[in-house]
């Protein structure tokens, strides 16, 4: 009975249409495509953090010339929104938004034009040092999250065969 149940599960999974993203490991289409991406410089501290996170996730530089360029523009905002009765701020929200384009360097065609965003809440306490440290930690976490979202989106685009998105 268990063998029959296992066989039915295997058949149902085979017909679902799911395919592994990184089929072929490091030699697969997606992995080679991600390794062939050059990340353009991004302005500001947030840009430096996002660019480093992207380079880490894309597999670093290869000895070959890059095939794609990733252009990213960031919008980093820190807003106070929690006020106490004495008009002091008790809560802040840090928002990081990115607009990014994947450009094919052979013909400068834009293969992907998309946005990604993330935000974090920060408690403001009496210690200025602790508040600044929390703001910086939030920015570092947001940069990694944005990089994850961008790499996932780019990998999906590369898996589709890098056909231009509309």
Q: According to the model, what pLDDT value does residue 163 have?
A: 42
Q: According to the model, what pLDDT value does residue 135 have?
A: 92
Dihedral sign from CA coordinates of 27, 33, 34, 39? positive
Report the C-alpha gap between 108 and 130 in whole angstroms. Answer: 45
For the chain, which domains are there? 25-159 (3.30.160.150)
Q: According to the model, what pLDDT value does residue 46 have?
A: 96
Q: What's the pTM value of the predicted model, to 2 decimals? A: 0.79
Query: Which two structure tokens, joined as six digits, stand for 7?
Result: 């066989």
pLDDT in tens, 86-102: 878 888 999 999 999 99
Q: Write the DSSP symbol of residue 108.
A: T
Report the C-alpha gap between 106 and 109 in whole angstroms. Answer: 8
Ranges under pLDDT 70 in the chain: 8, 10-29, 60-63, 162-166
């Amino acid at each position: 009975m268990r063998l029959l149940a296992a066989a039915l599960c295997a058949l149902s999974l085979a017909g679902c249409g799911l395919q592994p993203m990184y089929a072929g490991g490091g030699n697969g289409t997606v992995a080679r495509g991600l390794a062939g991406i050059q990340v353009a410089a991004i302005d500001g501290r947030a840009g430096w953090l996002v660019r480093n996170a992207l380079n880490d996730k894309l597999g670093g530089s290869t000895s070959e010339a890059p095939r794609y360029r990733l252009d990213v523009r960031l919008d980093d905002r820190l807003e106070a929104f929690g006020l106490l009765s004495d008009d002091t701020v008790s809560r802040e929200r840090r928002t990081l938004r990115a607009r990014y384009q994947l450009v094919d360097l052979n013909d400068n065609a834009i293969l992907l034009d998309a946005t990604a965003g993330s935000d974090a809440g920060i408690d403001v306490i009496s210690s200025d040092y602790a508040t600044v440290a929390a703001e910086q930690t939030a920015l570092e976490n947001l940069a990694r999250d944005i990089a994850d979202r961008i790499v996932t989106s780019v990998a999906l685009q590369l898996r589709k065969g890098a056909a231009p998105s509309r």
